[in-house]
Amino acid sequence: MSNDPALIEAARQGDELALLRLLKISQPDLRRIAESQCATSADADDAVQETLWVVYRRIGALRTVGSYTAWMFAIVQRECRRLMRKVRGQVELPDEDHKIFAYYTRPDLQVDLAAAIQSLPDKYREAIILRDFDECTIAEIAQTLRLSRAAVKSRIHRGRTLVREYLLD
């Protein structure tokens, strides 16, 4: 991956030719990461394309030139996880020490929480997982799901309400 600070800075400042060159240089490394993280080669292709699109749209939001590589890898890994969840259609439980289980220390409650999340309609489940498990911001979720911030907040609120109702039953 290109760690050329001048090229990254030019892309950050809006130089489209620099951005296109940076994306072209970065693509093979993104592909390598996606192939190791995604279930299929088609998913890896999709993850790389989505990552390149996100970077194209949001390079100006990159805070420091030095964080470019980590930022790109985080985007492609998040996209691979999203595609994996979509294929499986189910929730993967995080490790027992994940902070989402801080108040659910008994294994039966952890299983109930996972079942509650699994029972959600896809649109709510995906928003809840991105927010509470992957700890994405509202803006990142909106971008990933191609929704408005208000729609994301609504899905998270409705999803949490449905989880609460499931756990109370």
In this structure, the answer to whether residues 67 and 136 fall within a common structural domain is no
Residue 32 pLDDT exceeds 50: yes
- What's 111's domain CATH number? 1.10.10.10
In this structure, the answer to whether residues 66 and 102 fall within a common structural domain is no
Q: Which of 10-24, 74-88, 127-141, 145-159 bottoms out in mean pLDDT, i.e. has the lowest? A: 74-88
Residue pair 1/29 in contact (Cβ under 8 Å)? The answer is yes
In this structure, the answer to whether residues 83 and 95 fall within a common structural domain is no
Q: What is the pLDDT of residue 151?
A: 95
Q: What is the pLDDT of residue 153?
A: 96
- Which long-range contacts link 86-94 to residues 24+ away (Cβ below 8 Å)? 86/126, 87/39, 87/40, 87/43, 89/122, 90/118, 91/117, 91/118, 91/125, 91/129, 94/133
Domain that holds residue 142: 90-169
Give CA–CA dist 87/19, Å, rounded.
Answer: 32
In this structure, the answer to whether residues 119 and 139 fall within a common structural domain is yes
Domain tally, the chain: 2
In this structure, the answer to whether residues 59 and 122 fall within a common structural domain is no
In this structure, the answer to whether residues 158 and 96 fall within a common structural domain is yes
Q: Which two tokens stand for residue 46?
A: 């999709």
Q: What is the pLDDT of residue 61?
A: 85
**Boundary residue ending a domain (55, 88, 121):** 88
- 139 confidence band (pLDDT: 50, 70, 90): very high
**Boundary residue ending a domain (88, 113, 132):** 88
- Model confidence over 51-99: pLDDT tens digits? 999 999 889 888 888 889 989 988 898 888 777 766 555 445 455 555 5
**Boundary residue ending a domain (54, 88, 122):** 88
